[in-house]
């Protein structure tokens, strides 16, 4: 069965520091991968997605993610974190039939 693992429940980074959020997936075929962000009390906003092609994908708000098939990973990165990036981040894999399977989320805290 398809699954997504986000190993880090919480991550704290200093403002201006770089960020990497980890995501590992389990899926038999070519995966469709997504990162969403949820700010407190808000809905889910799509940051970026990977369907095919270039394995390094750019998203909104300065985020990028790299698909590594050999590691079954799709880690999210940002070179310099802003306080407004504090939120919960969800990785998801398309599980066929337009069904998304989500990871448990990683809460990002930004300290000034």
Tokens for 68, please give them: 């590594």
Classify residue 62 as exposed, middle or buried by CB count within 10 Å of its CB (0-12, 13-18, 19+). Answer: middle
Which listed residue (12, 20, 46, 84) binds other proteins by CB under 8 A?
46
Question: Quick one: 66 or 100, whose CB is closer to other proteins?
Answer: 100
Which listed residue (51, 58, 68, 82) binds other proteins by CB under 8 A?
51
Which listed residue (49, 64, 72, 86) binds other proteins by CB under 8 A?
49
Does 28 contact other proteins by CB under 8 A?
A: no
| Cα–Cα dist 85/76, whole Å | 13
């Amino acid at each position: 069965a398809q699954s997504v693992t986000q190993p880090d429940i919480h991550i704290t980074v200093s403002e201006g520091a770089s960020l990497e959020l980890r995501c590992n997936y389990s899926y038999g075929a070519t995966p469709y991968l997504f990162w969403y962000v949820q700010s407190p009390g808000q809905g889910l906003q799509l940051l970026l997605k990977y369907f095919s092609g270039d394995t390094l994908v750019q998203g909104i708000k300065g985020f990028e993610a790299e698909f590594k098939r050999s590691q079954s990973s799709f880690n999210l990165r940002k070179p310099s974190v802003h306080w407004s990036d504090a939120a919960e981040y969800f990785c998801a894999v398309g599980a066929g039939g337009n069904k998304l399977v989500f990871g448990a989320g990683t809460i990002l805290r930004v300290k000034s």
